[in-house]
Chains A and B, each alone.
Chain A
Amino acid sequence: MTKQEFLEKLKQKLDLLTDMEVKDILDEYSDTIDQKVQEGKSEEEAVNDFGDINELVDEIYDAYKIKGKKESNRHQDAAGKAGEVLNDIIDSLSRFFSTVFKDLTVEGLSKTLVLIGVGLVVLLLLRIPFAIIEGLFRSFIHILLPNSLAYVFSGFISVIVSLIFLVLSIVIIISFIRVGVNGEEINTENLFKRPLSEGLDSLKSTKKKTASDEVKEESKEKSNASTYEYKTKQATEQKSEEKSQRDTSVKETRSSNNYFGKSIVAVFVWILRFFGILLMIPLWCAIVGLGIAVGLIVYLLFQGVSIWGVFLLVIGAIGIVSVIIRLALLLVFNKKIGGFFITMNLVIAAICIGIGMPLTLHDISRFDIVYMGTDESQLYLDDDLEIIGKLSFNENVVYDFSYSENVTYVADDTLQNELIVEAYDTYDYYLHVSDTPDKVEIMLYRDHYRGDFYDFRKSLSFTIDTLQDGKISGYDSRKIKIIVRYPANANKFEVLNQFNQIENIVKK
C-alpha cells in the first residue's frame, strides 16, 4: 500500500472523529512515514509498521472512548466471501485500466486497437461452441421434463451460459489490450494462457488471509478512491495543485497522471456497472415470471387442483434468483453484503427445491391421458343412443358446473330413483352422469352422428382428458347445456341436494 492509499483509508475509517482530529492524526502519520522513507525504508514497509489498519482504527477510537466500527469482515461466511471476491474482480479491473492508460503511446494504441478487433473475431468464433453446449443442455432438459418446467430450466441455463461467456470475453479482451499496451509478444501464451491462469491464481489467493487482506484493502481503497474523486473532482484538483507546490517535480507528475488515470477508471467503472444492470434484466424477468407462476398455482389451488410439488419448486427458484440478483447488485454497486441473509435464502430455497422435485414428479404421475377407443364401427349403429365409452371413475375427476344458468331441471317420469345429468356441447354429444344409490356412472353418449368423426373424437377426448386430469374444464362452458333429469315425484330440493352431491363426488 502506498502512503497515499494508507492515509486515504484511514481518513475514511476515522469518519467518527472531527476533521481537525483526523487531519492531526494523518499529518503525524504522514510525517512518520516520510521520515522512514528518508532513512531508507520503502513506503510499503513504513505503512506496514503501523500494523493492521483495522486494529489501528479500533485503538484510536478506543483512545476517545468511542466504540468504533468493528469490521464485519472478520466474521464472514462463505456467501460473504463470495461477495468479496466479486468486489475484488471489478476493483482489479478498475486498477488494471488505470495502469493501462498511464503509459500509452501512439504505436501501442494502434496495436491495441488491432488486437481488440482480432479479439472480437476470436470471441465470435468462441460463441459457436458455447451455443452448441447451450443447445445440448436445452434439448436434454426438454427430454427430461414436461414443457412448462423445461422452459424455466432452459431459461436458467441460457442465463448462466451467457454469464460465463461474458466473463470469459472480458478476460480475453483485457489480456489482448494488455498485450498491445505493454508491447508484449503476440503469441497464444501471452494472449490466452497467462491471463486465465493469473485470474485463477488471484481467485485462489484471495482465499488465503494475508494476501486477501491486502487485495481487499488495496482494491476497496482504490475503488473508493476512484468514486470519491469522481464525485469531488474540484477538491482533488485543488489538492493535487497544493501538493505539487510542496513536492518534488517527480512526485508532481506522478500525482497528476494518477488523477487522469483515476477519472478514466471511474468512467469505466460506471460503464461496467451499466452493463451489469443490463445483464440483470433477464434475472428480473425471471423473478416476475416466477411470481406470476405462484399466483397461477394459488388460483388453481382455489379451484381444487393442488400441485404442491410445482409450488415448492417455484418458491425455491424464487429464492435462488433473488440471491443471484442480490449478488449482481453488489457487483455493480460495491456495497457490503449481509452474508447471513444470503445463506438463509439459499438454504430455504434448497429445501423447497429438494422437497418440490419429488412432489412435482408425483404430481405429474397423477395425471393420466386417457385415449378413447377408436373402433369406428361402433359409431355407426342404428340406435339413437349408444354408449361410446365408459370412463373409469376415479377421485381426480373434476367437472365444472359453475355456469348454473345453463342448467335446466326436467322432471322425467321414466326415472325411478335415478338422477341423470346430461351435458350437451356443440356437437350434440353429451356426457351423462348418473347417481343411483348403489353406483355412480359416467358415460358418454352420442345422440346422432353429425359432423366429422375425427373432430368429434378430438373434442370428446379433450373432454375426457379434462375430466381425467382433474383440470378445470377448458372449453367454453357457455356452449354446454346441462340438463338435470330427476324423477317426477321427487322433491325439488332433494333433487338439488343430490345434484350438488354428484357435483361434489365428481369434483373430488
Chain B
Amino acid sequence: MNTQFKKGVLELVVMMVVAKKDIYGYELVKEVCNIVHVNEGTIYPLLKRMTNESIFETYLQESTEGPPRKYYRITVRGLDVMKEIKREWIEFSNSINKFIEENKEV
C-alpha cells in the first residue's frame, strides 16, 4: 500500500485502537498490522510523539511474563483529536470515492 496513504491515516487507526481499550506497544502493533501493515520503526516513534502531545498517556502494569509493561491510554484531548481526524478522513475519502464513481470510464 502506498506509503503516503499509510502515513496520513496511521494516526487515526492508532488512536482508534487505543480508544477501544488500553493497550501496550506490541499488542497495538499486532492490531494495527491487521488493518494496515507497518513496522515498529514507524509505530513506536509515532506513539512517542502522540504521548508527548498529550494524545495518549502511559502507565506501567505488572505482567506475568517479565518486567512491567508500558500501557497506552487515550486522553480526553486525544479523543477530541481522534474525532476531528476521523471526520476529516471520512470527508476526504468520500469525495475521492465519489470522484472515482463518476469517472468509471477512466
Contacts and interface: CB of A to CB of B under 8 A. Distances in A.
Does A associate with B in a complex? yes
Given A24-B70, A50-B39, A51-B39, A32 B26 contact: yes
Contacts of B44: 25, 28-29, 50, 56, 60
A194 interface: no
Given A28-B25, A36-B26, A64-B52, A59 B66 contact: no
A22 to B, nearest CB: 12
A51 B40 CA distance: 7
B66 A34 contact: yes
A210 to B, nearest CB: 16
B83 interface: no
B45 A63 contact: yes
A31 B42 contact: no
A413 interface: no
Given A32-B25, A63-B52, A27 B41 contact: no
A246 to B, nearest CB: 8
Interface in B52-66: 52, 65-66
**Interface residue SS majority, chain A:** helix
Contacts of A59: 41-42, 45-46
A52 B42 CA distance: 10
Interface in B61-78: 65-67, 69-70
Q: Which residue, B44, B66, B67, has most C-beta atoms of chain A within 10 A?
A: B44
A56 B39 CA distance: 10
Nearest to A53: B41
A384 interface: no
B23 interface: no
A62 B47 CA distance: 12
A433 to B, nearest CB: 86
A51 B24 CA distance: 20
A31 B41 contact: no
Contacts of B66: 31, 34
A214 interface: no
Interface string A45-79: 00001111001100110111000000000000000
A32 B70 CA distance: 11
Contact of B49 (A29, A49, A56, A62): A62
B67 A63 contact: no
Contacts of A38: 65
B67 A31 contact: yes
Contacts of B65: 34-35, 38
B67 A49 contact: no
A50 B29 CA distance: 11
B41 A51 contact: yes
A345 B2 CA distance: 45
A427 B45 CA distance: 93
Nearest to B48: A63
Given A36-B26, A62-B49, A63-B46, A28 B70 contact: yes
Contact of B48 (A30, A31, A32, A60): A60
Contacts of B25: 28, 31-32
Nearest to A36: B26
Contacts of A25: 44, 48
A28 B66 CA distance: 12
A25 to B, nearest CB: 7
Contact of B41 (A24, A34, A52): A52
A49 B45 CA distance: 14
Contact of B42 (A27, A28, A51): A51
Contact of B40 (A27, A30, A50, A246): A50
Interface in B1-55: 24-26, 29, 39-42, 44-46, 48-49, 52
B17 to A, nearest CB: 16
A32 B29 contact: yes
A64 B48 CA distance: 8
B50 to A, nearest CB: 8
Nearest to A65: B52
Contact of B70 (A27, A52, A246): A27
A294 to B, nearest CB: 53
Interface of B: 24-26, 29, 39-42, 44-46, 48-49, 52, 65-67, 69-70
30 contacts: A27-B70, A28-B70, A29-B40, A30-B67, A31-B24, A31-B25, A31-B26, A31-B66, A31-B67, A32-B25, A32-B29, A34-B66, A35-B65, A36-B26, A49-B39, A50-B44, A55-B41, A56-B40, A56-B41, A59-B41, A59-B42, A59-B46, A60-B44, A60-B45, A62-B49, A63-B45, A63-B46, A63-B49, A63-B52, A64-B49
Given A31-B70, A50-B40, 11 more contacts: A27-B67, A31-B24, A32-B26, A36-B26, A50-B41, A56-B40, A56-B44, A63-B45, A63-B46, A64-B49, A246-B67
The 9 closest A-B pairs by CB, nearest first: A51-B41, A63-B49, A59-B45, A63-B48, A32-B26, A50-B40, A56-B41, A60-B45, A35-B26
